[in-house]
Structure 1
Amino acid sequence: MTLIDLGELRDEPGREAPPPRPPRAVGRPLRVALVLAFLVATVAAAAPVPARIAVVVPARLGSEAFPHGDRLYVVEPAEGEPEGTVEVRAYALPERALPDDAPPTPVWRTRIVAEGRFWQVQTGPGTVLFSVTGDQDDGQTVTLDDGTGRERWRQPGHPWFDPSGILLMQTGGAQGGTVRSVDPASGRALWSVPTPPEAATYALRDGRVEWIVLAPAKGRVEVRDPRSGALVHAADLGLGEASGHPVVAHGLLLVVRPPAGAVTAYGLDGLRRQWEARVPMVEHVNECGELLCVPGGNRLVALDPATGALRWVGEQWLGVLSARGGQLLAIAPGGGGERLGVLDAVTGREVADLGTWQLMPWYADERLLAVRPAVAGGGLVVAELDLAAGRARVLDVLRDVSGDCRSRADTVVCRLRTGEFGVWRYRD
């Protein structure tokens, strides 16, 4: 059993360390939002370390670890099997530290054949869905029984498991693809509609899919019902001058036209034009809390989604990564990498200057956990980003880790120098 030297919390949170190595990009547009979450940074304020549970999970180099719900899933090449065969192991996340001579026991383990890299895990009632990249296509989804590890079904495409119980699968490609609703238990398609090469976008309300939006570069835009696939609205909006794929946010389809320096908003319910805002050097637009943010030319313009009216302009900001409690987590260029700042959502005023961290992927209702190299002694500093307080609260210094960290809820998983995975849970 490998022991983890957790060291002492002697790092000075105000001192800057070189940013961690950027992670690899993982593929098509559906994965871009996940990748973006890795590329951020802050200045921390020290705080007492909360109760921590730490265990070591056996693994070899080449493996991947995914915390999700109350489980940790480890995927690694299977020994003694043909190339492309992997072993998947499910562990219950620890409720307490285990004795040094008692490694955790898998809830189940199974072997499957799946070419490509495992990059995402989602779960539904009784199932766990693994997204696997492909070399020539969109990859596939492999679905296992979460109680036994038995394979239930697999099919091409990427899944979206909606909290309402709807499972949507999407494929793409230069010739277009499909979006379909699938029975989670069997993989049977309930309905299917073709999508343009630009793929489909999901309009969310309170975390649930409200509409499926198909917006091709040329031709008509379609809005479909996610429960039946039925066409609800359609219109040709003349998107030929648009830059990139239209964005769906706040019940709007937002189209950026750089030559005109304009952002045009169409209501999804009817696809009627709502407003148009003139924004010089506009590049793209995205949702940032209750606002719309339009970065371009090393500045950030905030618009009112109801009217398109200008709220404020922030200089030197590249974009907004999260919005909580009336505060925005914004990213800006810095000397040692991107730096983070906390902005007041109403005025755009910077209320906290934060240094360089690597923010791990998160979900809307979860803690923002981040790491950065320790200034001295090696390893990584772990912190929780508190936007309301405008600080990063240091939770730990992990001395024996090499990086490759993921988080979910209160759990951090990092690769150890031995190749195994360290698992830490932080209970406040």
Structure 2
Amino acid sequence: MVPGGTIDLGSVADRPAGAAEPDLPRRPPFAGCVVVLALVFLVLGGSLRPVPPLTETVSRLAGAGSSYAVVGDRLYLVRRAGTQTWSLAAIGLPAGEELWTAPYAPTGERIVRIDTAGPVLLVSGGEATGRIRRTDAYESATGHLLWSMPEELVIDADANTGYASSADPPRLRALDLTTGRQLWSAEPGERFTFAAVGGAAPVAGRIPPRVAPESEANAVGGGEGGATVAAGSTGSGAGGSGRLALFVRSGRVELRDARSGTVLRRNSPLGAGALPLSGLSAGGGLVLWFTEHGGTGLVGLDPVTLDVRWRMPYDIDGGGLGRCLALVCVSSHGDVLALDPVSGRLRWRARDASYLVEARGRLVALGPVPGGLGPVRTVDPDTGDEVADLRGWRTGARGDPVVIRIPVGGTDTVIALLDARSGVLRPLGSAPEVLLACQSGANAIVCRTATGELRIWAVRPER
């Protein structure tokens, strides 16, 4: 025996010539691997344990009543800076470091929507009901205020254009998102609705601007005090070519250049007696919802020629219509119908649903739940079939895949994400307290506690 507890088997040169190799005991290869791994685990002190999906980085942030929105790898936070002043802070995620702070003029002290257009950050503020009263544009890198206006803008980030509308007289103005400068103005003479043609994000407006029903707002986090609806696009903001479809109440449809306002094509596809209600662009088609002789219907238009591709009656209820990824969804008699925007063909039906909302590539059905309206399931965008049961879970901001649930009789809050590819629930962990609502970004989750403060977790990517 030599120091260190090893056994000296002698040198090969010490063996007699011609002597056979010593008959050493053989250990099965697998057993040897197990021993080696066990020794490594002991040496590393158990450091090979799996990393949890959630790692808390900030336990307390802001204060009660603060409004916030998570977009990508940033948290935007409106908080009180004095007795009569407020500030907007950009906070990096998941570490929680403050990137910049800028003055903010409160309008109901709530962020309703966030849009990005290249280097420009657009903050839409307003009331708890979701009604926007003000738009502020900042340099996203520095927080420098570029311009402000005391009204709502409908944002087309790909065309670097925002649209402001008024009802008396009916008027539509287009503004450059970088400078706030007016590009053009139109007065159709009658009430109208409009929709940007093409683009990754749905862009549409109506006179007067649509206010989400209270039940819908509550279902997507609108009833949670400081919770926000963070939406928008990550368009280039370069002011490329874009088109706008203008639907005038008399039935006239105009296709305009987004930047110049030039009328590219004009048509009256509905005929006498039909009044347009709202329209949208999806899946290579332009779809208009109209009313005629006491009923409602849909018409599909070619987005280049404005020719009618299809037309059929649809009894549409209070849920209206919206974009479901590449399809158009219509709320009708307690179900949601998914239509092909090019052919008008019914692709599938989501039964017992009031609305369908997009959540980063997935569809979430909202329907009747105890206490009102809430998420009931995720929906396969190809078939309309249920993917995951969401009853008992609560969604956060519109379009956000994070959901939370407080088990019956429990005090912890379970946090999960909807998988972007499959739509199934991916449990992340739980917080040892009641959380009111959460929002997710590229690599973090931010939640508001029952005391009004915010907590931040880093999220380990799914492998």
Give the corresponding residue for 2:66.
63
Structure 1 contact 401–414 (Cα < 8 Å) conserved: no
State the shift of 1:248 in Å: 3.5
Determine which structure has more spread, i.e. the larger CA radius of gyration: 2
Structure 1 contact 121–130 (Cα < 8 Å) conserved: yes
User: What is the rounded CA distance, in whole Å, between the counterparts of 2:296 and 2:252 in structure 1?
Assistant: 23
- Cα displacement string for residues 90-136 of structure 1 (whole angstroms, at most 9, x for unaligned residues): 222234xxxxxxxx65333233444433322333444432212279x
Does 226-235 or 307-316 show the bigger shift? 307-316
2:100 is equivalent to residue 108 of structure 1: yes
User: What is the rounded CA distance, in whole Å, between the counterparts of 1:308 and 1:219 in structure 2?
Assistant: 20
Structure 1 contact 380–399 (Cα < 8 Å) conserved: yes
Give the corresponding residue for 2:396.
360
Give the corresponding residue for 1:295.
331
Equivalent position amino acid for 1:94 in 2: P
Please list every run of 5 or more consecutive structure 1 residues that lacks an aligned counterpart in the other structure.
Answer: 1-46, 96-103
Give the corresponding residue for 2:263.
231
Give the corresponding residue for 1:121.
114
- The one of the two structures with greater contact order (alpha-carbon pairs below 8 A, sep at least 6) is 1
User: What is the rounded CA distance, in whole Å, between the counterparts of 1:88 and 1:281 in structure 2?
Assistant: 40
Question: TM-score of the superposition, structure 1-length normalised?
Answer: 0.72
Q: Percent identity?
A: 28
Which of the numbers 65, 72, 91 marks the counterpart of 2:75? 72
Structure 1 contact 183–189 (Cα < 8 Å) conserved: no
State the shift of 1:241 in Å: 4.0
Equivalent position amino acid for 1:407 in 2: S
Partner SS for 1:302: strand
Give the corresponding residue for 2:88.
88
User: What is the rounded CA distance, in whole Å, between the counterparts of 2:297 and 2:155 in structure 1?
Assistant: 34
State the shift of 1:383 in Å: 0.9
Give the corresponding residue for 1:154.
148
Give the corresponding residue for 2:254.
222
State the shift of 1:286 in Å: 3.1
- Which aligned pairs between 1:134-213 and structure 2 lie closer than 5 A? 139-159=133-153, 162-164=156-158, 166-184=160-178, 186-194=179-187, 197-207=191-201, 210-213=242-245
Equivalent position amino acid for 1:87 in 2: S
Give the corresponding residue for 2:304.
269
State the shift of 1:57 in Å: 5.1
Equivalent position amino acid for 1:143 in 2: A
Please list every run of 5 or more consecutive structure 2 residues that lacks an aligned counterpart in the other structure.
Answer: 1-49, 202-234, 236-240
User: What is the rounded CA distance, in whole Å, between the counterparts of 1:339 and 1:288 in structure 2?
Assistant: 16
Partner SS for 1:171: strand
State the shift of 1:281 in Å: 6.2
Give the corresponding residue for 1:131.
124
Partner SS for 1:116: coil
Structure 2 contact 134–148 (Cα < 8 Å) conserved: yes
User: What is the rounded CA distance, in whole Å, between the counterparts of 1:420 and 1:370 in structure 2?
Assistant: 18
Equivalent position amino acid for 1:274 in 2: R
Structure 2 contact 173–183 (Cα < 8 Å) conserved: no
Q: 1:407 to 1:170 in 2, by over 3 A?
A: farther
- Cα displacement string for residues 18-47 of structure 1 (whole angstroms, at most 9, x for unaligned residues): xxxxxxxxxxxxxxxxxxxxxxxxxxxxx9
Question: TM-score of the superposition, structure 2-length normalised?
Answer: 0.67
User: What is the rounded CA distance, in whole Å, between the counterparts of 1:355 and 1:420 in structure 2?
Assistant: 26
| Count of paired positions | 365
User: What is the rounded CA distance, in whole Å, between the counterparts of 1:290 and 1:173 in structure 2?
Assistant: 31
State the shift of 1:71 in Å: 2.5
Structure 1 runs (4+) deviating above 6 angstroms are none
Which of the numbers 454, 457, 462 marks the counterpart of 1:421? 454
Equivalent position amino acid for 1:378 in 2: T
